[in-house]
Structure 1
Amino acid sequence: MRRISIVQGEHAVVAEPHVVIATLLGSCVAVCLHDPVAKVGGMNHFLLGEPGANQMLTPIDRQRYGVHAMELLINGLMAKGAARNRLSAHLYGGANMISGLGTIGSSNGAFARRFMETEGIAIAHCDLGGTRARKVEFMPHEGRSRCTAVSQAVPEAVPIPMPKPARGGELELF
């Protein structure tokens, strides 16, 4: 099975069997879209839902936003034969992992739900929110996905014993 890994600002569209698209999410959101007739699917990974009003964006900045990521994903699917009215979605991520960052994850998840509703895309599966990171794997040809919670526990540091200085003998410093 061929594996395609994506990160923030990326997307992948596939119309062949035996391929998995994978990503790792925290407060970001990944949307997996699938057309069961055309047997094509894809996944994106976005950092924020949409820019603020009057916010000037460079082309590189746009890649961080869901509104742009969704356009790229849908256009990529349609270029491979998908029909917009047959698309179904799987939504993942949007965790509020760090208390000091507020509710960025919740805002991202709300954007994804709102986008699907506005565009008339059915949500087949939704795993948004919480406080844990997720690993998402999507088989675009079949439209199947798997989401696994990632442990947030940080391993404890193992103390390294310091060597004791040798007693006796002479040491000459230069």
Structure 2
Amino acid sequence: MTLHPGDVALGLRGDRLETLLGSCVAIVLTDPRRTVGAMCHFVYTRTSTQRSAVPTAQADQALQSMARLLQDRGIRMLQCEAFVVGGGNMFPGIVSGLSVGDHNARWALGTLAAQGVRVVSADLGGTVYRRLRWTVGPQAPQIEAVPL
């Protein structure tokens, strides 16, 4: 299954989940035995009247949806391991300082830490797109850098 911005999916062992990320971030949550996994693809928004980015309902809702999908399988988010990918600066010639991708990454890591979810791997930042592919199972997700 291919995820697009705002999508959330649950997979069982052998299912394939994938997405392409720029400044967006994907969170993969899986039980330690890696028999079930959930993935979301989200982005922060920022309006011209805000001094700093705040999470959209999309980001919060995506994480809540993942928690519900996992809970329906008897898995609490706190039991999960997380992989966090994306958060690139897609306009390095224009954006200096913190980019939308940086805000996305900080939100993801901060929210997972606040919920007590252990992040086992984070591939964040930089100036590349990332193709994320994961077949639910014992192997870590595959991440391919795609230059701008």
Distance 1:45 1:108 in 2: 11
User: Which residue in the other structure is 1:113 paired with?
Assistant: 109
User: Which residue in the other structure is 2:70 paired with?
Assistant: 77
What residue identity is the alignment partner of 1:19? D
Say what the alpha-carbon RMSD is for the aligned residues: 2.3
**Aligned runs of 1:156-167 on 2, under 5 Å?**
none
Larger Rg: 1
Distance 1:122 1:25 in 2: 22
Report deviation, 1:142.
Answer: 3.2
What residue identity is the alignment partner of 1:14? G
Query: Which is worse superposed, 42-51 or 22-31?
Result: 42-51
Is 2:41 aligned against 1:41? no
| Aligned residues of 1:10 and 1:45 also touching (Cα < 8 A) | yes
Is 2:19 aligned against 1:23? yes
Is 2:9 aligned against 1:12? yes
User: Which residue in the other structure is 1:135 paired with?
Assistant: 131
Deviations 1:130-150 (A, max 9, x none): 010000012234362010001
Distance 2:95 2:66 in 1: 28
Deviations 1:25-79 (A, max 9, x none): 0000000000124721111000217997xxxxxxxx73xx322211111111111
What residue identity is the alignment partner of 1:90? F
Aligned residues: 139
What is the SS of the residue equivalent to 1:9? coil
Distance 1:50 1:74 in 2: 25
- Percent of aligned pairs with the same residue? 28
Query: Which is worse superposed, 142-151 or 114-123?
Result: 142-151
**When the two structures are superposed, what TM-score results if normalisation uses the length of structure 1?**
0.72
**When the two structures are superposed, what TM-score results if normalisation uses the length of structure 2?**
0.84
User: Which residue in the other structure is 1:97 paired with?
Assistant: 90
Runs of 5+ unmatched residues, structure 2:
51-55
Distance 2:109 2:45 in 1: 10
